[in-house]
Amino acid sequence: MYRKCAILTAVAEAYMNVLVIGGAGYIGSHVVKELMKHNHRVTVFDNLSSGLRQNLFKENEFIYGTILIPGDLDAAFAKGFDAFIHLAAFKAAGESMIAPEKYSINNINGTLNILNAAASHDCKRMVFSSSAAVFGEPQYLPIDESHPKHPENYYGYTKLSIEEFMAWYEKLRGLRFAALRYFNAAGYDVDGELSGLEQNPANLLPVIMEVACGMREKLKIFGSDYDTRDGTCIRDYVHVSDLAAAHVKALEYIAEHDESISVNLGSEKGTTVTEMVEAARRITGRPIPADYVARRAGDPASLVATSKYAYEKLGWKAEYSDTDTLVRTTWNAYQKYNRLVKN
């Protein structure tokens, strides 16, 4: 028994050579930083369509390529990796309902290209950035891993489909995966080292900050007639630094236990859109004008997680996901960006 425990500990502590697909993006760059903090060797694969060169660390190799070209992926995986993390996807739920073809090609076809390239080079450890969108309208709250999965938008459908593909590749190709179902990713690097802003953001908090900085005229709040405490949608916002830590814990878990896992990642607290806007006005001191407009197709009224299972299996819980930290770190990143632009 002692020998088995010692072997598992050694596996967990072994440094891995990791390919991070989408590692120049918003979440990806934070994941790369966390991997480096734990002394893993990192190579970033990105087409820079939404990622930024300023999010790359000089210590890491960078491969410019796209997940839509199998040859690009084959050449990358041929370098030899112990594991890979897949964060490359289109993610705007509203857009996915208007342009499903775009999401089919990139999210689904692109992921199949990744899985095939990884399998052909015997890379069998995968961490995948899934989404709470796989669940759809909650049948109960908080949402646990056993909750029925009926996506209300096509983006969520692509994420659920990919989870099913991974399960098949586990059966047929020996893949071991961690599906991390993010709730609403928000915030910026708590250490202030990363400040490459997300390009063309669609998520609430960066859009709020663009209004606060004068980059947009006003904010649109989609729906004010939901059955919530103030009529606007409730979301579980989880700090990107917390999500980054979860990726590393999940990677080390599948390496140690040689088994796949799917977990929900959230703060376990629900915040309305109006509450987030009011917090941003208080912290930034800016008026942040906003218009309430019609509901957006595919938006559930409320999404709040329980992350009990992630704590039990990975030892993970959110540490930086309170509303003020989310807003403050995002505001700091935007202020830093604006200072750089002015200089």
- Strand residue runs (E) in the chain: 17-21, 41-46, 61-64, 83-86, 125-131, 176-182, 184-186, 219-222, 234-235, 237-239, 261-265, 271-272, 290-293, 302-303
Residue/partner pairs of 74-77 with CB below 8 Å, 24 or more apart = 74/117, 74/120, 74/121, 76/19, 76/43, 76/45, 76/117, 77/19, 77/117, 77/118, 77/120, 77/121, 77/123
> Cis before residue 201, ω within 30 degrees of 0?
no
Does the annotation count 155 as an active-site position?
Answer: yes
Using alpha carbons only, what angle is made at residue 213 by residues 209 and 131, rounded to the nearest 5 degrees? 20
Maximal CA-CA distance, the chain? 64
Q: Is residue 191 part of a domain?
A: yes
Q: Is residue 261 part of a domain?
A: yes
Query: Are 80 and 68 spatial neighbours (Cβ–Cβ below 8 Å)?
Result: no
How many domains in the chain?
A: 1
pLDDT digits (tens, 9 = 90+) for 247-257: 999 999 999 99
For 169, the domain range is 2-338
Q: Is residue 343 part of a domain?
A: no
8 confidence band (pLDDT: 50, 70, 90): very low
Q: Give me the percent of the chain exceeding a pLDDT of 90.
A: 86
pLDDT digits (tens, 9 = 90+) for 116-147: 999 999 999 999 999 999 999 899 999 999 99
For the segment 18-45, the average pLDDT, to the nearest whole number, is 97
Q: Is residue 6 part of a domain?
A: yes
Give the pLDDT of residue 341: 53
Q: Is residue 254 part of a domain?
A: yes
Distance, in Å, from the CA atom of 103 to the CA atom of 97, rounded to the nearest integer, reads: 9
Give the pLDDT of residue 339: 61
What does the chain come to in residues? Answer: 343
pLDDT digits (tens, 9 = 90+) for 90-99: 998 889 999 9
240-257 and 2-13 helices, crossing angle to 10°: 140
Is the per-residue pLDDT at 333 higher than 60? yes
pTM over 0.75: yes
CATH number of the CATH domain containing 121: 3.40.50.720
Among candidate residues 26, 103, 155, 157, the one labeled active-site is 155
Give the pLDDT of residue 11: 44
pLDDT digits (tens, 9 = 90+) for 271-314: 999 999 999 999 999 999 999 999 987 788 999 999 999 999 99
Smallest CA-to-CA distance from 213 within 292, 291, 284 is with 284
Collapsing DSSP to helix, strand or coil, 42 comes out as strand
Q: Is residue 213 part of a domain?
A: yes
Using alpha carbons only, what angle is made at residue 73 by residues 68 and 74, rounded to the nearest 5 degrees? 130
Taking the CB of residue 37, how many other CB atoms lie within 10 A of it? 12
For residue 291, list its beta bridge partners: 220
Give the pLDDT of residue 36: 97
